[in-house]
């Protein structure tokens, strides 16, 4: 008979140790896994933080470079603009119609004016207040003044009269360097300054500046601090004319003759002679009197 194999038995302490050893790997695995996750999370956070710092540094550097380039471009543009100057002296039309706004800043006054001119025929029509007051000048014939009198419009006629200026005499002006913004429009400028207490033969005395559009060279604004030489002239102050619209070309002769032909025009009285050629001065004087009266009551 063969020998019966004997069953090997372990001591109780060895069994307990083996059981405990079989349990340890599961607990330490969880702990180690959690620890590894924490290490990985910390590493990822550090990596992300580092990436953000690098990104911010690149962004700041790029922004700084672009800002520097933009500043250089602006400075270059300003420098170039300061060296720009008009090269062609403006030439104004002799046949035209124009819409003009006449300003007196200290009185906060704006007087709209519409003008028709034909210097070839020596004719001019000035319309104030939307055509309520009309002055028609003829250098070689009858001139007219059509104004409201009490409740109706009256037409008065008088002799030949010179035309009123709405553009300056550019022979006196010198070009200025730089670009100037007038109501948002880039403009060249021309300036004329008289000597102190020495008016010109045209009666100009002060500082006069004409602004013309940089591209079209059409008149934009005529600003002056001095004696008013436009539209009949007046005292020394600040004035400017805005040329809202100018159309160059022939003017129909009916523009100068149709209105008087529809009215019964009478000769002007001697007491009205002084009023006939300076409509803007009449308006300015009346505004000044009203302003003085207002101040007197304050």
Q: Do 71 and 112 have their domain in common?
A: no
Angle at CA of residue 191, ends 189 and 194, nearest 5°: 170
Residues 134/125, Cβ–Cβ less than 8 Å: yes
Q: How far is CA 220 from the centre of its chain?
A: 11
Please give the residue range of the domain that contains residue 170.
95-131+164-252+277-292
Q: Do 121 and 34 have their domain in common?
A: no
Query: What pLDDT score does 78 carry?
Result: 54
Phi, psi of 264 (to 5 degrees): -90, 95
CATH number for the domain including 106? 2.50.20
Q: Do 72 and 105 have their domain in common?
A: no
Q: Do 99 and 44 have their domain in common?
A: no
Q: Do 127 and 211 have their domain in common?
A: yes
Q: Do 220 and 194 have their domain in common?
A: yes
Query: What pLDDT score does 270 carry?
Result: 53
> Is 41 part of a structural domain of the chain?
yes
Q: Do 62 and 125 have their domain in common?
A: no
Q: Do 121 and 212 have their domain in common?
A: yes
- Domain count within the chain: 2
Q: Do 206 and 70 have their domain in common?
A: no
Q: Do 61 and 102 have their domain in common?
A: no
Residue 212 CA to residue 208 CA, distance in Å, equals 13
pTM surpassing 0.85? no
Query: What pLDDT score does 274 carry?
Result: 42
> Is 16 part of a structural domain of the chain?
no
Q: Do 168 and 68 have their domain in common?
A: no
Residue 30 CA to residue 296 CA, distance in Å, equals 98
Q: Do 99 and 246 have their domain in common?
A: yes
- Give pLDDT tens digits along the chain (298 positions): 444 445 555 455 554 555 444 444 555 556 665 666 666 677 777 777 777 788 788 888 888 888 778 776 665 655 555 568 888 899 999 999 999 999 999 889 999 999 999 999 999 999 998 899 999 999 999 999 999 998 899 999 999 999 999 999 999 999 999 999 999 999 999 999 998 888 888 788 999 999 999 999 999 999 999 988 887 767 889 999 999 999 999 999 999 999 999 999 999 765 455 444 455 544 444 444 444 434 443 4
Residues 251/120, Cβ–Cβ less than 8 Å: no
Q: Give which of 98, 116, 127 is closest to 254, Cα–Cα.
A: 116
């Amino acid at each position: 008979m063969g020998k019966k194999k004997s069953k090997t038995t372990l001591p109780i302490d060895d069994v307990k140790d083996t059981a405990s050893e079989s349990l340890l790997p599961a607990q330490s695995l969880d702990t180690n896994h959690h620890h590894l996750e924490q290490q990985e999370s910390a590493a990822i956070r550090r990596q992300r933080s580092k990436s953000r710092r690098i990104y911010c540094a690149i962004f700041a550097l790029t922004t700084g470079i672009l800002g520097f380039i933009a500043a250089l471009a602006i400075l270059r543009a300003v420098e170039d603009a300061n060296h720009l100057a008009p090269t062609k002296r403006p030439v104004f039309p002799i046949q035209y119609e124009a819409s003009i706004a006449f300003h007196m800043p200290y009185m906060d006054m704006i007087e709209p004016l519409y003008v028709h001119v034909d210097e070839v025929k020596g004719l001019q029509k000035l319309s104030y207040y939307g055509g309520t007051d009309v002055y028609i000048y003829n250098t070689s014939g009858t001139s007219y003044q059509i104004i409201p009198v009490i409740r109706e419009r009256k037409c008065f006629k008088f002799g030949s009269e010179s035309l009123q200026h709405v553009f300056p005499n550019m022979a006196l002006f010198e070009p200025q360097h730089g670009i100037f913004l007038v109501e948002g429009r880039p403009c060249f400028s021309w300036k004329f300054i008289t000597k102190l207490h020495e008016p010109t033969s045209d009666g100009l005395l002060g500082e006069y500046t004409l602004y013309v559009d940089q591209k079209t060279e059409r008149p934009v604004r005529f600003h002056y601090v001095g004696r008013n030489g436009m539209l009949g002239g007046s005292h020394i102050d600040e004035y400017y004319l805005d040329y809202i619209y100018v159309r160059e070309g022939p003017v129909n002769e009916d523009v100068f003759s149709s209105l008087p032909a529809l009215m019964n025009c009478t000769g002007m009285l001697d007491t009205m002679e002084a009023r006939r050629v300076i409509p803007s001065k009449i308006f300015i004087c009346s505004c000044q009197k009203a302003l003085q009266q207002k101040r007197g009551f304050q």
